[in-house]
Chains A and B, each alone.
Chain A
Amino acid sequence: KAGVTQTPRYLIKTRGQQVTLSCSPISGHRSVSWYQQTPGQGLQFLFEYFSETQRNKGNFPGRFSGRQFSNSRSEMNVSTLELGDSALYLCASSRGTSGSSDTQYFGPGTRLTVL
């Protein structure tokens, strides 16, 4: 069974630009969550989608947005990039039907560098 895939693996952008990251969940999984990982703040939850609906959201500014498609694939978008947005962005998928006890399986991440 294929794991969670994320594209691209690496991105370099400049301040003010916008970026779109993509995530394909494990087959059969309907929930996709996004996390930001930085050396200073650690792993922080961005948002979670289930059946094309955002079910949960972390404490990030509105520049961070996401969506989910009918095939459960998800994208996240960051507009007006700032230097502080440089991070590893991780996507995780789960069945989404067991509430808080669901196991999330992570992709390899997209390394975003903002210059």
Chain B
Amino acid sequence: AQSVAQPEDQVNVAEGNPLTVKCTYSVSGNPYLFWYVQYPNRGLQFLLKYITGDNLVKGSYGFEAEFNKSQTSFHLKKPSALVSDSALYFCAVSALSGGYNKLIFGAGTRLAVHP
């Protein structure tokens, strides 16, 4: 069965410092991996996805993610954090069995960027 783990409930970082939000996955076959962000009382906003090819994926708002097959990880990164980046971040894997368009989400990581 496919699964996603986000080992940190919360990540705290100072504004201007680099940030990393961790994600590991367990899938059979090649994974399709996604990052979404959720602001209070809002739906999920798509940040980026990995399908194939270059292991470094660039996304919206200056975010990027590094796919590492040997470590089964897909960590989200940003070189310089902003206070406005404070939100709930979800990693997800797209199910490769059982049909289309079924995303399996991690539990989420709350990012707090302090001024």
Contact = CB atoms under 8 A, between A and B. Distances in A.
Interface of A: 4, 6, 31, 33, 35, 42-43, 45, 48, 50, 55-56, 58, 90, 92, 94, 96, 99-109
Tell me what chain A mostly uses at the interface: helix, strand, loop, or mixed. strand
Interface in B25-64: 32, 34, 36, 41-46, 49, 51
A33 B92 CA distance: 15
Given A101-B94, A106-B44, A96 B108 contact: no
Contact of A42 (B46, B101, B105): B105
A50 B100 contact: yes
A33 B101 CA distance: 7
Interface of B: 32, 34, 36, 41-46, 49, 51, 90, 92, 94-96, 98-108
B57 to A, nearest CB: 12
Given A42-B108, A56-B101, 16 more contacts: A31-B100, A33-B102, A42-B105, A45-B103, A48-B102, A55-B99, A55-B101, A58-B102, A92-B101, A100-B94, A101-B49, A102-B100, A104-B46, A106-B36, A106-B44, A108-B43
A103 B34 contact: yes
A107 B43 contact: yes
B102 A106 contact: no
A64 to B, nearest CB: 15
Closest 5 CB pairs of A and B: A56-B99, A106-B43, A43-B105, A100-B94, A106-B44
